[in-house]
């Protein structure tokens, strides 16, 4: 790998950090548009610098057959013994894609937020957190080593927590933030364990990597030669599974997805930026970044693909019964993340990143559109109280429509291309499997179905909400709709990137994918997969049309037939209740037991209190001894002296 | 006695001579009729104060010269006294302690209403004479003379406020029990002479080897050692010979209590270490067990007794008893198994004494700044709410208390650390563990004072004490001592090196 040193890339994370500090300094001041503009400008500058870096990267001459990476070796951050970890950044094509998503989508969402948060008294604080999030996200995707990446990983987790519970005065929001944080801890624990094992693994074979991704990848082959193959496979399997558990915490996969729907308690731009477009995809990014490891672990890939496919279907089923507009989108995000993990699990890392990028556009579009709907309905989120908004808020409708079409994978939209890739690899890729393919196609059908259900319930039919509200419905201001148009544009066209041969997107991750034998995929299977995918998407559309627009007969029939199932579905399969029953309640009872019995009774009362009582008792005895009577003093002296003398003499004759 | 011997004898005794002459002059001044009360008293006190400053400064200077100029250990006056680095260092330390004591005493001596007489300074100087003799004594008979000079000066200093019945009572108890201790010393000395046929510290090991038949040191020497140890432990206030301390501290005025905490303690430990390391190290194994038990009992009982003590001077008396135990650990370890044990332990005892001196100088000068009114004792309640009202005072006072507790970055921590570490090297693990637990217990009552200053409000709304006639001298002493607590805590090397030099060249 050819490395060129350019400290220029440090600017990319620097701008949002400055913005965060600036806005945080003004957090107690009267909210003004200044903070919003500064914050947006900083993200924009960061977007400009990352674009400049792209040009620098493509302009750099590299020896044939090698990949060029821009690095910036800043300083040694941790130095412990012979372990040296640098605070270094890198910029390769993978980072470039991620940075484009983070800074560009981030910029649009910042702009949108100016309009969305203008009336909030804490908007300065909001922009400070938002910029801080962008900073940490940039650190995450540009970190040159795993440990620095973990810093970004934790940083975005922190910002997510801060922003979910942004309106913390409502206990429900605070609880949602806490849930996100604690659930992520479980994943982080696995991630950290993986880092430790990785250190031990490289160290035991004498490689000093400092967790540097490039060195890790370069030494990996030598590592497999240095260890007995069976043991090596077990360790790599273990590391990869632990890493995936970490990824599934951040990227909301079964069983750790439960925090993401609750995270919708935060302001809608936050849901769009953090919980749809960027942070939740960090797990996918991490798996791809460490693709050379995962490529060596067939077991981990199977687990990933299986989890992904299960999550994709399961979340889609739940999404069908949700009535909160943001919850539908949240489960949809979980499901789409499942798709990305299917791609990872099938060894199609490029496709995973491709879907990540297109998803970032259409899902943030959908969230911002939902925000616009909520905004125009003055805070109403229940889709059962919406309907017929098509005419009233045409701008939002048009863009939302495009978003729905893109995510459903209808022809020529971005989602069509990226999802098709994933289905293709699950059908004919190097780690493909018929079950994965079948379930992924089912999930694809369900996606189309629940997204159209959402579209029809919100924008078609007649208004079902409070009649008084109807008159007040108005289109959002331009500062909110313009980002929607731009995102809509990318939702349509970002898929076409595959046709631009010069961009070379297919070999984005050549160096990582080379570890996996390229599958020879025939054109016939390509076309048949595409055909089936289209059929599934249209079937979803038609089913939704039948249920929600043409007549309600089907729906009520189905509702009657499967009433029990639908009840379960509406309640999200009682997963939260199940976790509560098997994990949280026992923990709480243990905690109460430890508090009431062990701590208060035993430790506080018996041990601590007993010690205090003991000391008090001895103390009062001593006070009594210090009576002020000289006879007593002298007797004590004499007694002490007698004991001393006897002791010493006895010892000497023994 | 040849002429050279006389000259070097006078040279070595110069600090004692200066102290003696100055004390005599002060006594003459105070004997004059108009010096007893009113402005005459004040004039006499001022004059006596100036004179004793001069004397202590000169003594410090001469001791420093001694320390630098002495080539090696000498014995003078037919072996009666040592003249070595150890005694010179002790002389220097005593002189500086004297100066600080005068500083602390200034506010109680020089106020218009004070009844204290100029003899105070003469007594300080005579106490210094006693301590110097203790530091120099080779003949144990000389040592007991020094001990008694020091003790008698202290008895009188305690009773200085002779209109106050409590003070007289406390001093008298101190005197009675102290007399018993003096008797113990002499009794022990007689046995030692019986066992070893000598009273010279430097000759005891060799004479014992010649005169004692059979295995072990023999009963007379053992009994003698036990009795001498008991007498010295009485002066150092170790349990069960400690009972006088709380009463005497309570009786004494602030500056006298300060004097007793660092001055008497330093003199006694300088002598204990000399006797133990130079004379009885060969029979150390028969006494260290007893000493360890005494150390543990002393620190534990003292700390527990201090826990709920509300009277500050009594609390500090118990605190002082517990610190005796820590220094006792270093004495025990000087008979340790590893190389340089004597040098290290001696140096650590000296460092502990110096550190303890500055800490207590700070604490008692702070107490001297508080004036709770006639015949009233200082209590913790007096300090409530002072924290932010008197920031300099409270911060320095808290610093000194934290140093007593042994918090890092203060000299108290380093001093304790040296001793505990040394004990650990000498395989006294249980002793270290118990000492550390005791430091923890002690932390409670030190922090209680700080809490009272910063976190509690006085019940009446107004702070109970005034700073009305707080002398400038006390404030200076507090500032200097606080600075030295930090300096020694961060940079203890100089003192430790000098102390090691003194011990190595003298033993």
Domain ranges of chain B: 284-507
A467 touches chain B (CB under 8 A): no
Nearest CA in chain A to B308: A619
Q: Which residues 365-424 of B have a C-beta within 8 angstroms of A?
A: none
Domain boundaries, chain A: 1-144, 145-570, 579-653
A503 touches chain B (CB under 8 A): no
Q: For residue A501, give Cα distances in angstroms to A92, A308, A504, A506.
A: 19, 30, 5, 9
pLDDT at site B198:
92
Q: Which of B304, B306, B318, B438 to mutate to test the interface with A (most CBs of A within 10 A)?
A: B304
CB contact under 8 A, B307 and A645: no
Counting residues of chain A whose pLDDT is more than 90, the rounded percentage is 34
Residues of chain A with Cβ-Cβ distance to B166 below 8 Å are none
pLDDT at site A561:
72
pLDDT at site A515:
47
pLDDT for residue B470 is more than 70? no
CB contact under 8 A, A636 and B301: no
Residues of chain B with Cβ-Cβ distance to A611 below 8 Å are none
Chain B: give the shortest CA distance to residue A620, in Å. Answer: 8
B297 touches chain A (CB under 8 A): no
pLDDT at site A360:
92
CB contact under 8 A, B240 and A639: yes
Q: At what angle do helices B285-307 and A609-625 cross, to 10 degrees?
A: 100
Chain A: give the shortest CA distance to residue B453, in Å. Answer: 23
C-alpha angle B103-B106-B107 in degrees, rounded to nearest 5? 125
For chain A, what's the residue count? 654
Q: Which of B217, B290, B304 sits opposite A644 (nearest CB)?
A: B290
How far is it, in rounded angstroms, from Cα A614 to Cα A608? 10
pLDDT for residue A29 is more than 90? no
Mean pLDDT (whole number) for A33-45: 92
Q: For residue B9, give Cα distances in angstroms to A377, B12, B17, B298.
A: 106, 5, 11, 40
A648 touches chain B (CB under 8 A): yes
Mean pLDDT (whole number) for A394-423: 89
Dig out the tokens for B298 from the structure. Answer: 């002393």
Mean pLDDT (whole number) for B373-395: 79
Q: For residue B477, give Cα distances in angstroms to A68, B215, B380, B482, B485.
A: 70, 54, 22, 8, 12
Dig out the tokens for A340 from the structure. Answer: 């990305």
CB contact under 8 A, A652 and B216: yes
| Contact by Cβ (8 Å): A68, A60 | yes
Mean pLDDT (whole number) for A400-427: 88
Q: Which of A619, A642, A643 to mutate to test the interface with B (most CBs of B within 10 A)?
A: A619
B219 touches chain A (CB under 8 A): yes
Q: How many CB pairs under 8 A join A and B?
A: 79
Give the dihedral sign, CA A485/A488/A492/A496.
positive
pLDDT at site A508:
55
- H-state helical runs in A205-258: 213-226, 229-250
pLDDT digits (tens, 9 = 90+) for B411-449: 999 999 999 999 998 889 999 999 999 999 999 999 999
pLDDT at site B121:
94
- Residue A548 — very low, low, confident or very high, per pLDDT cuts 50/70/90? confident
Dig out the tokens for A138 from the structure. Answer: 């940039």
Chain B: give the shortest CA distance to residue A594, in Å. Answer: 26
Candidates B178, B19, B179; CA nearest to B97 is B19
Residues of chain A with Cβ-Cβ distance to B227 below 8 Å are 641, 645
Nearest CA in chain B to A651: B286
Q: Which of A396-410, A571-585, B157-171 has the highest mean pLDDT?
A: A396-410
CB contact under 8 A, B176 and A630: yes
Chain A: give the shortest CA distance to residue B123, in Å. Answer: 25
pLDDT digits (tens, 9 = 90+) for A299-348: 999 999 999 999 999 999 998 888 889 999 999 999 999 999 999 998 88
Nearest CA in chain A to B244: A633
Residues of chain A with Cβ-Cβ distance to B222 below 8 Å are 648-649, 652
Q: Which of B226, B298, B438, B444 to mutate to test the interface with A (most CBs of A within 10 A)?
A: B226
More confident residue, A196 or A120: A196
What are residue A324's DSSP bridge partners?
A382
- Residue A78 — very low, low, confident or very high, per pLDDT cuts 50/70/90? confident
- Residue B373 — very low, low, confident or very high, per pLDDT cuts 50/70/90? low
pLDDT at site A287:
92
CB contact under 8 A, B289 and A639: no
Strands A2-5 and A76-80: unpaired
Per-residue burial over A62-86, b if 16 or more Cβ lie within 10 Å, else e, is: eeeeebbbbbbeeeeeeeeeeeebb
- Residue B376 — very low, low, confident or very high, per pLDDT cuts 50/70/90? low
Among A496-505, B170-179, B228-237, the range scoring the smallest mean pLDDT is A496-505
- Longest C-alpha distance within chain B, in Å? 74
CB contact under 8 A, B230 and A640: yes
Mean pLDDT (whole number) for A424-443: 87
More confident residue, A62 or B111: B111
Average pLDDT, chain B: 89
CB contact under 8 A, B441 and A637: no
pLDDT at site A284:
93
Mean pLDDT (whole number) for A218-231: 78
Candidates A312, A276, A540; CA nearest to A410 is A540
More confident residue, A503 or A330: A330
pLDDT at site A514:
46
How far is it, in rounded angstroms, from Cα A426 to Cα A437? 5
CB contact under 8 A, A619 and B217: no
Q: Which residues 605-634 of A have a C-beta within 8 angstroms of B?
A: 615-616, 618-619, 622-623, 625-626, 628, 630, 632-634
CB contact under 8 A, B225 and A639: no
pLDDT at site A513:
46
B176 touches chain A (CB under 8 A): yes
CB contact under 8 A, A641 and B176: no
Q: Which of B229, B247, B286 sits opposite A652 (nearest CB)?
A: B286
CB contact under 8 A, B304 and A622: yes
Candidates A336, A325, A334; CA nearest to A369 is A325
Average pLDDT, chain A: 86
CB contact under 8 A, A652 and B307: no
3-state helix, strand, coil in chain A (%, to 5): 75, 5, 20
- Residue A3 — very low, low, confident or very high, per pLDDT cuts 50/70/90? confident
B244 touches chain A (CB under 8 A): yes
- Residue B462 — very low, low, confident or very high, per pLDDT cuts 50/70/90? low
- H-state helical runs in B78-164: 85-110, 119-136, 140-158
pLDDT at site A516:
52
Q: Which of A472-486, A612-626, B307-321 has the highest mean pLDDT?
A: B307-321
- Residue A562 — very low, low, confident or very high, per pLDDT cuts 50/70/90? confident
pLDDT for residue A507 is more than 70? no
Collapsed DSSP state (helix, strand, coil) of residue B409: coil
**How many CB atoms lie under 10 A from the CB of residue B5?**
12
Counting residues of chain A whose pLDDT is more than 70, the rounded percentage is 94
Among A290-294, A334-338, A360-364, B213-217, the range scoring the smallest mean pLDDT is B213-217
A641 touches chain B (CB under 8 A): yes
Cβ neighbours of residue A9 closer than 8 Å, sequence gap 6 or more: A49, A50, A53, A70, A72, A89, A90, A91, A142
CB contact under 8 A, A634 and B180: yes
Q: Which of A622, A640, A649 sits opposite B219 (nearest CB)?
A: A649
- Residue A281 — very low, low, confident or very high, per pLDDT cuts 50/70/90? very high
- H-state helical runs in B35-118: 38-69, 85-110
Q: For residue B49, give Cα distances in angstroms to B18, B54, B162.
A: 15, 9, 21
Residues of chain B with Cβ-Cβ distance to A649 below 8 Å are 219, 222-223
How far is it, in rounded angstroms, from Cα A239 to Cα A241? 6
Q: What are phi and psi of B397, to 5 degrees?
A: -60, -45
Residues of chain B with Cβ-Cβ distance to A614 below 8 Å are none
A642 touches chain B (CB under 8 A): no
pLDDT digits (tens, 9 = 90+) for A522-534: 777 888 888 888 8
Nearest CA in chain B to A636: B240
For residue A3, the surrounding DSSP H or E stretch is strand A2-5
pLDDT digits (tens, 9 = 90+) for B74-120: 888 888 999 999 999 999 999 999 999 999 988 888 876 777 888 89
Cis peptide before A458 (omega within 30 of 0): no
pLDDT at site A94:
86
More confident residue, A68 or B147: B147
Nearest CA in chain B to A653: B216
pLDDT digits (tens, 9 = 90+) for B305-362: 998 888 898 999 999 999 999 999 999 998 877 778 889 999 999 999 999 999 999 9
More confident residue, A623 or B469: A623
- Residue A64 — very low, low, confident or very high, per pLDDT cuts 50/70/90? low
CB contact under 8 A, A637 and B240: yes
B243 touches chain A (CB under 8 A): yes
| Contact by Cβ (8 Å): A537, A452 | no
pLDDT digits (tens, 9 = 90+) for A128-139: 999 999 999 999
Mean pLDDT (whole number) for B59-84: 91
More confident residue, B213 or B261: B261
């Amino acid at each position: 790998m050819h490395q060129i040193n350019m400290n220029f890339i440090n600017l990319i994370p620097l701008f949002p950090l400055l913005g965060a500090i600036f806005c945080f300094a003004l957090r107690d001041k009267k909210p003004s548009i200044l903070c919003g503009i500064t914050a947006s400008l900083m993200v924009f500058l960061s977007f400009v610098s990352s674009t400049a870096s792209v040009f620098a990267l493509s302009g750099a001459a590299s020896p044939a057959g090698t990949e060029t990476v821009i690095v910036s070796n800043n300083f040694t951050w941790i130095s412990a013994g012979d372990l040296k970890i640098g605070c270094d950044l890198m910029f390769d094509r993978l980072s470039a894609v991620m940075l484009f998503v983070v800074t560009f989508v981030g910029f649009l969402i910042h702009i949108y937020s100016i309009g969305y948060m203008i009336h909030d008294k804490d908007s300065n604080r909001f922009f400070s957190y938002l910029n801080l999030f962008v900073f940490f996200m940039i650190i995450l995707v540009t970190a040159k080593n795993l440990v620095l990446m973990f810093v970004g990983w934790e940083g975005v987790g922190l910002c997510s927590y801060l922003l979910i519970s942004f309106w913390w005065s409502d206990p429900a929001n605070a609880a949602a933030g806490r849930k996100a944080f604690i659930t992520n801890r479980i994943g982080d624990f696995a991630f950290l364990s993986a880092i430790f094992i990785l250190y031990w693994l490289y160290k035991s074979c004498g490689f000093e990597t400092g967790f540097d991704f490039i060195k890790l990848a370069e030494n990996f082959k030598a590592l497999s030669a240095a260890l007995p193959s069976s043991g090596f496979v077990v360790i790599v399997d273990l590391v990869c599974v632990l890493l995936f558990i970490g990824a599934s915490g951040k990227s909301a996969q079964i069983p750790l997805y439960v925090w993401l729907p609750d995270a919708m308690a935060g302001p809608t731009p936050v849901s769009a930026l953090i919980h749809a477009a960027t942070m939740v995809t960090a797990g996918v990014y991490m798996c791809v970044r460490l693709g050379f490891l995962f490529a060596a672990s067939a077991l981990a890939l199977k687990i990933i693909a299986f989890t992904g496919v299960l999550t994709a279907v399961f979340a889609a089923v739940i999404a069908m019964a949700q009535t909160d507009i943001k919850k539908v989108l949240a489960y949809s995000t979980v499901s789409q993340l499942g798709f990305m993990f299917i791609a990872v699990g099938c060894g199609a890392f490029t496709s995973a990143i491709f879907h990540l990028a297109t998803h970032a556009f259409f899902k943030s579009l959908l969230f911002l559109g939902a925000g616009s709907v909520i905004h125009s309905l003055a805070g109403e989120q229940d889709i059962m109280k919406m309907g017929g908004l098509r005419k009233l808020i045409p701008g939002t409708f048009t863009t939302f429509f495009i978003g729905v079409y893109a995510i459903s994978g209808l022809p020529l939209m971005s989602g069509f291309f990226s999802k098709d890739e994933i289905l293709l690899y699950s059908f004919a890729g190097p780690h493909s499997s018929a079950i994965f393919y079948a379930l992924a196609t089912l999930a694809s059908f369900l996606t189309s179905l629940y997204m159209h259900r959402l579209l029809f319930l919100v924008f078609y039919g007649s208004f079902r909400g409070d009649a008084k509200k109807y008159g007040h419905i108005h289109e959002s201001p331009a500062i909110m709709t313009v980002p929607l148009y731009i995102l809509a544009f990318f939702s349509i066209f970002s898929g076409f990137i595959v046709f631009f041969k010069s961009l070379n997107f297919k070999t984005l991750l050549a160096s990582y994918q080379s570890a996996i034998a390229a599958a020879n995929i025939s054109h016939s299977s390509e076309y048949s997969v595409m055909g089936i995918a289209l059929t599934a998407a249209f079937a979803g559309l038609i089913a939704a049309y039948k249920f929600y627009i043409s007549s309600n007969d089907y729906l009520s029939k189905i509702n009657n037939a499967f009433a029990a199932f639908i009840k379960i579905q509406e309640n999200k399969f009682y997963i939260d209740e199940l976790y509560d029953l098997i994990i949280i309640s026992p923990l709480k009872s243990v905690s109460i037991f430890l508090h009431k019995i062990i701590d208060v009774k035993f430790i506080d009362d018996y041990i601590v209190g007993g010690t205090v009582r003991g000391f008090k008792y001895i103390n009062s005895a001593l006070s009594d001894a210090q009576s002020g009577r000289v006879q007593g003093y002298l007797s004590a002296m004499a007694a002490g002296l007698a004991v001393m003398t006897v002791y010493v003499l006895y010892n000497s004759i023994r | 006695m040849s002429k050279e011997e006389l000259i070097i004898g006078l040279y070595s005794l110069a600090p004692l001579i200066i102290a003696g002459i100055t004390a005599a002059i002060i006594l003459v001044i105070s004997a004059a009729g108009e010096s007893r009360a009113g402005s005459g008293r004040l004039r006499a006190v001022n004059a006596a104060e100036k004179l004793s400053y001069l004397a202590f400064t000169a003594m410090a200077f001469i001791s420093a010269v001694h320390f630098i100029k002495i080539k090696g250990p000498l014995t003078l006056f037919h072996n009666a006294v040592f003249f070595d680095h150890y005694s010179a260092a002790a002389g220097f330390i005593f002189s500086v302690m004297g100066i600080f004591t005068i500083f602390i005493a200034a506010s109680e001596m020089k106020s218009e209403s004070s009844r204290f007489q100029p003899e105070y300074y003469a007594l300080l100087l005579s106490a210094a004479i006693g301590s110097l003799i203790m530091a120099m004594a080779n003949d144990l008979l000389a040592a007991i003379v020094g001990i008694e000079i020091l003790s008698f000066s202290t008895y009188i200093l305690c009773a200085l406020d002779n209109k106050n019945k409590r003070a007289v009572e406390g001093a008298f108890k101190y005197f009675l029990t102290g007399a018993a201790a003096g008797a113990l010393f002499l009794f022990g000395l007689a046995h030692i002479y019986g066992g070893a046929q000598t009273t010279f510290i430097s000759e005891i090991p060799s004479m014992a080897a010649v005169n004692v038949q059979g295995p072990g040191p023999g009963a007379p020497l053992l009994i003698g050692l036990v009795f001498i140890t008991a007498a010295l432990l009485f002066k150092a206030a170790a349990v069960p010979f400690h009972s006088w301390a709380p009463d005497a501290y309570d009786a004494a005025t602030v500056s006298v209590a300060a004097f007793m905490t660092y001055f008497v303690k330093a003199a006694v430990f300088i002598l204990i270490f000399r006797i133990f390391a130079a004379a009885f190290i060969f029979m150390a194994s028969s006494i260290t067990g007893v000493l360890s038990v005494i150390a543990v009992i002393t620190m534990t009982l003292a700390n527990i007794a201090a826990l709920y003590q509300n009277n500050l001077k009594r609390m500090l008396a118990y605190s002082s008893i517990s610190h005796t135990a820590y220094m006792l650990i270093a004495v025990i370890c000087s008979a340790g198994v590893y190389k340089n044990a004597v040098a290290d332990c001696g140096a650590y005892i000296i460092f502990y004494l110096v550190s303890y001196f500055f800490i207590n100088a700070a604490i008692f000068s702070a107490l001297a700044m508080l004036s709770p009114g006639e015949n009233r004792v200082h209590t913790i309640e007096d300090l409530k709410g002072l924290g932010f009202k008197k920031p300099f005072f409270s911060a320095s006072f808290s610093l000194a208390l934290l140093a007593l507790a042994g918090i890092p970055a203060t000299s108290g921590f380093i001093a304790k650390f040296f001793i505990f570490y040394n004990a650990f090297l000498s395989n006294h693990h249980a002793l270290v563990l118990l000492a550390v637990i005791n430091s923890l217990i002690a932390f409670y009552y030190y922090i209680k004072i700080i809490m009272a200053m910063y976190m509690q409000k006085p019940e009446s709304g107004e702070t109970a004490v005034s700073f009305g006639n707080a002398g400038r001298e006390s404030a200076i002493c507090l500032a200097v001592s606080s600075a030295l607590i930090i300096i020694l805590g961060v940079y203890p090397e100089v003192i430790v090196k000098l102390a090691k030099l003194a011990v190595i060249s003298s033993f």
